[in-house]
Structures are given as structure tokens and as C-alpha cells.
Structure 1
Amino acid sequence: MNSPLSPAAGTASGNDPLTPGTHVYGLGGVVQRYHVHGTGPVCVVHSGGPGIFWDYLRMPLLEEHLTMVYVEPVGTSEDSRLPSHPHGYTRERYSGFLEVLINRLGVPRVHLLGHSHGAFVAAYHALHRAGRLAGVVLYEGAPVTGPEHAEEAGRMVGAFAARYAGHPGLPGVLAAFGAMADISGDEQTVAVARGVLPSYFADYWAHEERYAPFRDAIRATYVSGLDEHLVPESIDDRAALKGMEVPALVVVGRHDVICGIRWGRELHDLIPESELLVLEDSGHMGHVEEPELFAEAVRDFVARTTAPEPGAE
């Protein structure tokens, strides 16, 4: 039986922290895993949720050009849970684990890509621990949480419901949204994540054969959103984002109901000299819905913001 801090079966061998495969190390009494795929400039990827397993965010087209380092955020696997689980997973905590991981990779600069809740983490990291970042991709994020964000999401979900009024799948989606406030365990988290997912695509039911396997593969762990003192983490980055010095690409799907076009534009307006990509035929999952356009934009951004190797012409 493997020790909790020993590499599990199928992990990368050797001492190179960027060898393709799964890497495992212990930190602060918990396990941190990350998964390396592809070759090229290094892009560290932080998934959403919090509590959604990392693998929904695989980006094969980017792996053809970049070394994609997919973080498995602490708390998702049983051996990576904090003593305060399911509480205590603040942005500061995630960012601290990210900093250690990035330093371990042994490269001067990396790009950081965060999706959904991961975009909130990536923004925090770019604002507070930017030293080894060449650039940041804020993919389906927002500058705020709380009532204002919830109100906008409610409006977008209402528009989704109106668009699909009478569709046999709509009641299940709305029931899943209604169950969000009462989640208290892993099974409920998975059920709700899969239940709301049709609303996270521009037109899930028109492409259900393509998207259903993605939906069925979603895995999740219950993370409360409270700190270790059971206080909700409230986010308002508007003032801080005006001083962000890291090059930033903001990516948003036109039909995203959770972190939609309003928030993408606001992030773009707040961050100096940021770039904005609006995926016109995507919801919250542009890397699945419009993978070529998404990959091209991220790849080009990384190429333009990667410093040349010393001595290179």
C-alpha cells in the first residue's frame, strides 16, 4: 500500500518536475498532485468549483504547443484535504499551494490559467504573488462575488429558462440550481454539478450526444466556501485589478450564465492593457465548445508574453 506522501501507481518517475504524468508531493500535512501533459512553454492550470476535479479542464489542443501543468487543487482528493475540511479553502490558501508548486517546476516564468473559481484564484495570485508569472489567463471569472454576482447569475439563469421553456430537461436543471444552497456532501455536489451543466453550454441539448460524456465524467468534492472560522470569503477585486502588472487575457463565453459577458468586460476594463476574447458560441465551457478558437487565443497570448531564452535572437 502506498504511503500518503509516496507517488501512487502511474505517477511520473525521475526528478524532473515537468516529466509527463502525475506528480505527488507532501505539503503542510496534505498531498498536492499535479498532472503534466504536452511540451513547450509552461502553463499552470487551476480548475474551478471549488471542489471540481481537474480533469474536466484537459485541453488537448493546447497540449500540442504548451506544457500544461494541471493542478489538482487541495481538498478534491481525500488525502489532500485540510484538517478543517470542507472549510478553509480560501484564495490565499490555494495561492500559497500554487506558489510552492510553481517554484518546484524550476522554470523562470510560467503562465497561469484559471477557470471559473480558478480564475478568482489566478487573479488573486497575479495580484499578490506575481513574481514568477509571465502572464495570466482569466477564463470565465469575475471581479466580485456576493449579492451583485448572484443577482446577475439569477438574471442569466432566468434568460436560460425562458429560452428553453417547455424543454423536458429544463426542470432538472432548475431543480439542481435550487439544491445548491443545501449541499453538504460529495454525492450532492456531484449531482448538482452534473444537474446544472446543460445551462453551462451555449446549446447543450442541440449537441447532447457530444456533451453528455463530458457531463457524466464530472467529479466533485464538497467544499463549503467558508474559511476555517466558518466565515464566507467575500471577493471584490475591483480596486486591486486596476493595479495589476501581469499581462492578462480575459476569456468569456457569450452565453455563460455564471460568470458571463458582463463580468468578462468588467475584468477587461479594470486590468490595464488586458486582452479580451469573447467566444460567441460558448457558455462556461469554451475549451470544449470552441476548442480551436480558445486554444489559438491562449497559445498566441503565451507566445507574445514569453520572454526569449537568454542568448536567443
Structure 2
Amino acid sequence: MLVEINGNNLEVEVLGPQDGPVMIVHHGAPGLGSRAEPKASFGPFADTYRVVTFDARGSGASEGKPPFTHEQWAADVEGLREWIGAEQVVMAGGSYGGFISMEYAVRYPERVRALVLRDTSPDNKNEDLSRANALASDRVELDLDKFYRIMDGKTLSDQDLKECWAEILPLYDHDYDPAKVAERVEATPYRFETHNWAFTENMPRYDLTDQLPQITCPTLVTVGRHDWITPVSCSETIADLIPGAELVVFENSGHSPQVEEAELFQKVVREFLARAVEGAPSA
């Protein structure tokens, strides 16, 4: 359903019992991501939680009124919290959605009951690490023009973004399956203006390292051992900076342990939430 949040229509899907603790899940990859991934990954938690998934401003089927800043995206999360009527929420997000989840926890600390992060980074240092990992990979022979256009936020159109995405997508999974990659390329909604804004305007200034020690809610940090774009060292930094944060590394995953080790990922998150959220059942 379309819900107007801060003057912009967002495509929102709510799963789970009306009286369950509310969990808002933010997808990654602005201009490429959508609610499909968080719905698949966190939909199983709708047996206990009221899970709010949505296409962020400028992504998926949502309206795309700029700005596409971290401040605006965090404010949209706050608007969704107000719309759903929860005093506090479990905030979850992976990859770029982890950036926004941490931004939300920093900007609205009294609203976050617990924080679940997956394959993300506290600052923009992952960009240099990811470029080195991509160029060192022997999995695919990269078209460097396309590689740098998508990494630098200089894609030319939705079609160009699609072609550039197809270039780097083989790097994401621990086990490379060309058929699955091709399927994901076709299933992705492309919004090149949003993607370009994120990587030309937001990423050069992105750095939460000084603010993460202010986060006091229970925090789970998860990451795939073989993640090329937000490597384990990025999650280790987050876990070191947030007081009491728990770090779990998934040994047989790349950037998506919620897919590649789905059963174990769900077990880890459920056990964390059982400890962190009052009234949640033990796994």
C-alpha cells in the first residue's frame, strides 16, 4: 500500500500481529533495493513481530522526491514509526540499509528498542576496501568503465545502472551461480538518480564513527566472512564502537548471510531478540 510519509508516497507492506513488537527493516542499495529482500529475510519474524517493510524514498515502487540524504531517509523511518503507532521499534537494516539504521539510532535514540545490522559499515572506508577486493577477484573479468560508473555514482540511465549492476553482482555471493545472478539482474527495480545521489553526495561525507558510542540499545552486528563490499573489518569496527554490541560472523556467506545461511541467520537474530526485547520468546 502507498503511505504518504513526509510528503512522499512510500510503498509499505506490514506483516505480523497488530499487537506484536514493531520491527522496521530498511533495505540496502538505494536505487537498486526494494522491500523484497527484507520481506524475505525478516518475514519469518512476523510470527512474533509486526514487521514493517518498505521501498525507501526513490527506490522500488516508492515516489522519488529528493533529497535522498541520510537525514531524509532516517526521517522517513521516523515517519513510519509514527504511522504504525509504536513508541519504540526494533530497527534492522543490511548494507546501505545498515547505514540508515545506524543513522536512525543516532538521531532518534529514544525510539530504538534494539538494533540489528547486517553487512554494513560505520563510515566510507569500505569503499577503498571493496574496490581492492573487486579488482583482485578472479571470479569475473570486470568492465572497468561500468565498474567505476556504478561505484562512483555516475550511471547514465536506468538501463546503464542495470548493465553496471550486472557487472558487479557476481562478486556478492560466497558461491557464484550465474543463473541466479541473471535472475536477480532482471528482478531488480532500477532508479539511477537515487543511486547516483547516494554515491556522489552521501558517501563522501559518511562517517558515524564518532557517534556510534552514543548508541545504548542492544545491538547485533552480523556479517558474511567473504563479504567483498563491506568486509568483516567494518563490522568489527561497529561492534567495537557500540557499547555491548554482539558480533556474529557467518563463515559460509558473502554479502548476504540472511540468504546464504538463512536458517542460521534467523536463529542468531531470534536468540538476540529474545534477550534484547522484553517479552520475546526464546528461540
Q: TM-score range by the shorter chain?
A: 0.7 to 0.9
| 2:14 and 2:53 in contact (8 A); partners too | yes
From 238, 244, 269, give the equivalent of 1:267.
Answer: 238
Q: Give the length in aligned residue pairs.
A: 271
Identify the residue that residue 189 of structure 2 maps to in structure 1. Answer: 219
| CA-CA distance at 1:290 after TM superposition | 0.6
Tell me which residue corresponds to 1:113.
92
Residue 123 of structure 1, CA deviation: 0.3
SS at match of 1:44: strand
How do 1:273-284 and structure 2 match up within 5 A? 273-284=244-255
Pair 1:291-2:262 in alignment: yes
* Alignment-derived partner of residue 25 in structure 2: 45
Q: Please name the residue that 1:32 is paired with.
A: 10
Whether the aligned pair in 1 keeps the contact of 2:224 and 2:257 (CA below 8 Å) is yes
Structure with the higher helix share, 1 or 2: 2
Q: Distance in 1 between matches of 2:148 and 2:202?
A: 22
Give the Cα separation in 2 of the matches to 1:283 and 1:232.
22
5 Å-filtered alignment, 1:1-313, equals 23-39=1-17, 40-51=20-31, 52-57=33-38, 58-59=40-41, 60-77=43-60, 80-82=63-65, 84=66, 88-145=67-124, 148-161=125-138, 164=139, 170-171=140-141, 176-180=146-150, 181=152, 182-205=154-177, 208=178, 212-222=182-192, 223-226=194-197, 234-308=205-279
Q: Verify the 8 A CA contact 2:55 2:61 in the aligned structure 1.
A: no
Give the C-alpha shift of residue 129 in structure 1.
0.6
The Cα of 1:302 is off from its aligned counterpart by: 1.8
What TM-score comes out, normalization by structure 2 length? 0.86
Q: Kindly tell me: are residues 233 and 33 of structure 1, through their superposed partners in 2, closer, same or farther at Cα, counting changes over 3 Å?
A: farther
Cα shift at 1:78:
6.5
* 8 Å contact kept, 1:193–1:218: no
Give, in whole Å, the separation in 2 of the partners of 1:230 and 1:200: 24
2:257 maps to a residue whose letter is G
Q: Corresponding residue for 1:12? A: none
2: CA distance, partners of 1:231 / 1:281: 31
2-structure distance, mates of 1:70, 1:78:
12
Inter-CA distance 79–307: structure 2 relative to 1 (3 Å threshold):
closer
Change (3 A) 1:91 1:288: same
CA positional deviation for 1:244: 1.3
SS at match of 2:137: helix
SS in 1 for 2:134: helix
- Aligned sequence identity (%): 27
Deviation, structure 1 residue 109: 2.3
Letter aligned with residue 158 of structure 2: D
SS in 2 for 1:125: helix
Quote the offset at 1:65 in angstroms: 4.2
Output the CA distance in 1 between the equivalents of 2:215 and 2:201.
30
Task: State the TM-score, normalized to the length of structure 1.
Answer: 0.78
Q: Distance in 1 between matches of 2:78 and 2:34?
A: 20
Provide, for residues 17-52 of structure 1, a one-character-per-residue CA deviation record: whole Å limited to 9, x for no partner. xxxxxx322234321221123444322110111122
Give yes or no for contact 1:254–1:283 (8 Å, CA) kept in 2.
yes
**Secondary structure of residue in 1 paired with 2:214:** coil
